[in-house]
Amino acid sequence: MEPVLSYIDANLDSSLARLFELLRIPSISAQPAHRQDCRRAAAWARDAWAALGFQARLSETAGLPGVIATHHAAGPEAPHVLFYGHYDVQPADPLDLWKSAPFEPEIRDGKIFGRGAVDDKGQVVSFMEAVRAHLAVNGTLPVRLTVLLEGEEENGSPSLKELLANERDTLAADFVLVADTNMWNPTTPAITVSLRGLAAVEVTIHGPSRDLHSGLFGGPALNPIRVLTKVLGDLFDDQGVIQIPGFYEGVAPVPEALKESWAGLGFDPDGFLGAVGLTHPAGEAAQTALAQLWARPTAEINGIYGGYQGEGSKTVIPAQATAKLTFRLVPGQDPTLVVAGFKEFVLSRLPADARAAFREGGGAPGFAVDIFTPYMQAAQAALAAEFGVAPALVGSGASIPVVEAFKTVLGLDTLLCGFGLDDDCIHSPNEKFDVACFHRGTRAHARLLAAFGAQNTAI
């Protein structure tokens, strides 16, 4: 193992230079204006894997293409690992809060700053550099490896199941390694064993047939912003319990065993909230902060807009107002029923003359990972060897819909192991990835590949 790790240490600068090439491409999948940038990022990744000796190509979908790269020189008896990451990134707004331009990456204080620095370009390149080291030192890989990079992860993965189905044969691995999660802290790695799901919906309240002057119509004219705030103001009761009909149907209480395991992690709610300027857990009052985060569903208004938003004031009654919501789901909840319940919640509260229009986004149920498989044991050992401490088995409040898709479309279990930190500001201005995490992540990935290669293929 040592020559591979030494190679990684010696080549850190050129590894970072390759990451920076990818970070400079503004591959924002949610914004149609960046469609070509997304395709440029896909082509960059295809070419980078091809340069390592992989058979690499784009796999077209109704949306943005996947990147598929295979390296099977280890032979048919070797374990077959499917690595998953994504080459698209979140929108960068609000731009004025970035200290450096989001798509002009730079290193400050030992941290790589840029949109996608960690989510997920940094994690993908970290893995790619581990592969590069194995190939440079040994001329081959310890496993059969198939790489799949998605281009729509930050936009609800609308084409993912189509992509998996199209590539069913190529992707028929033993299990999936997903690098899109965090360490427990800067010195303790983590494997994520439970994930929340996601359902997205947008509601627009329509009122008058056009924008109105609030002096000439104010009073008798219905204001859609008033309706929208009134409806959304009912979303929670004073204990933080979500009021959508049927919302909690199927939600199981947190298992005692998991509660105990989490208690052992020493989670510090004051420190967690304090890092972002908060002091009180704002979710269901009856739950701990960690349960609110890992084990309980949420209703989140991610955006709201209507009427005049410029400087000064404008005495307008707008014709419409819109809110964008997402729900974090736990195992047992059905995304379709949650969205249906929200629609019913809104429609049952509309006054005369108000009309609601809905747009549904992607959805995925919550998921719990099987923690008793051989490759999970191998991964724990490899991570412990790199970090000198056993990995934490944690939950995550975030959604990685691909985990559910791999299970339902391909029948594959997933191992979630990534090297981000909670303060990486993903989806926010000034997203960063510690150079140390990138570097240790590459070393850890190299050890993971070796550990998987040492397994029986019947894992």
| Ranges within 62-81 binding its own copies (CB under 8 A) | none
CB of 300 to its own copies, least distance (A): 5
Q: How far apart are CA 391 and CA 289, in angstroms?
A: 22
Per-residue contact flags (x/-) with its own copies for residues 128 to 167, judged by CB under 8 A: --------------------------xxx-----------
Look up residue 138 and give its two tokens. 């040994």
Q: Measured from the CB atom, is 91 or 332 closer to its own copies?
A: 91
CB of 280 to its own copies, least distance (A): 4
- The answer to whether residue 219 forms part of the interface with its own copies (CB under 8 A) is yes
Q: What is the DSSP annotation of 401-423?
A: HHHHHIIIII---EEE---B-TT
Look up residue 85 and give its two tokens. 């990451």
Q: Measured from the CB atom, is 188 or 430 closer to its own copies?
A: 430
DSSP class of residue 95 equals G
Tell which positions 412-441 bind its own copies, by CB under 8 A.
422, 425-430
Q: How many residues bind its own copies (CB under 8 A)?
A: 103
Q: How far apart are CA 73 and CA 139, in angstroms?
A: 10
Cα distance between the two ends of the chain: 22
Q: Measured from the CB atom, is 239 or 456 closer to its own copies?
A: 239
Reading phi first (left if > 0) and then psi (alpha if -120 to 50, else beta), residue 430 is in left
- The answer to whether residue 205 forms part of the interface with its own copies (CB under 8 A) is no
CB of 325 to its own copies, least distance (A): 9
Q: Measured from the CB atom, is 432 or 447 closer to its own copies?
A: 432
Tell which positions 329-358 bind its own copies, by CB under 8 A.
351-353
Q: How far apart are CA 404 and CA 365, in angstroms?
A: 7
Tell which positions 31-60 bind its own copies, by CB under 8 A.
31-32
**Rg from Cα positions in the chain:** 23
Q: Are 228 and 205 in contact (CB under 8 A)?
A: yes
- The answer to whether residue 207 forms part of the interface with its own copies (CB under 8 A) is yes
Tell which positions 172-191 bind its own copies, by CB under 8 A.
182
Hey, what amino acid is at 30? A
Q: How far is CA 401 from CA 306, 368, 378, 398, in A?
A: 31, 12, 24, 10
Q: How far apart are CA 207 and CA 284, in angstroms?
A: 33
- The answer to whether residue 451 forms part of the interface with its own copies (CB under 8 A) is no
- The answer to whether residue 276 forms part of the interface with its own copies (CB under 8 A) is yes
CB of 282 to its own copies, least distance (A): 4
Q: Are 18 and 77 in contact (CB under 8 A)?
A: no
- List 192, 204, 396, 442, residue binding its own copies (CB under 8 A): 396
Q: How far apart are CA 340 and CA 322, in angstroms?
A: 18
Tell which positions 284-303 bind its own copies, by CB under 8 A.
284, 287, 289, 292-293, 296, 298, 300-303
CB of 95 to its own copies, least distance (A): 12
Tell which positions 229-268 bind its own copies, by CB under 8 A.
229-236
Q: Measured from the CB atom, is 300 or 344 closer to its own copies?
A: 300
Q: Measured from the CB atom, is 167 or 422 closer to its own copies?
A: 422
Secondary structure class of 256 (helix, strand, coil): helix
Scanning the structure block, which residue is given the tokens 């559910």?
404
CB of 294 to its own copies, least distance (A): 8
Long-range contacts from 266-272, C-beta under 8 angstroms, 24+ separation:
272/422
Per-residue contact flags (x/-) with its own copies for residues 85 to 124, judged by CB under 8 A: -----xx-xx--x---------------------------
Q: How far apart are CA 294 and CA 301, in angstroms?
A: 19
Q: Measured from the CB atom, is 27 or 455 closer to its own copies?
A: 27
Q: How far apart are CA 114 and CA 429, in angstroms?
A: 9
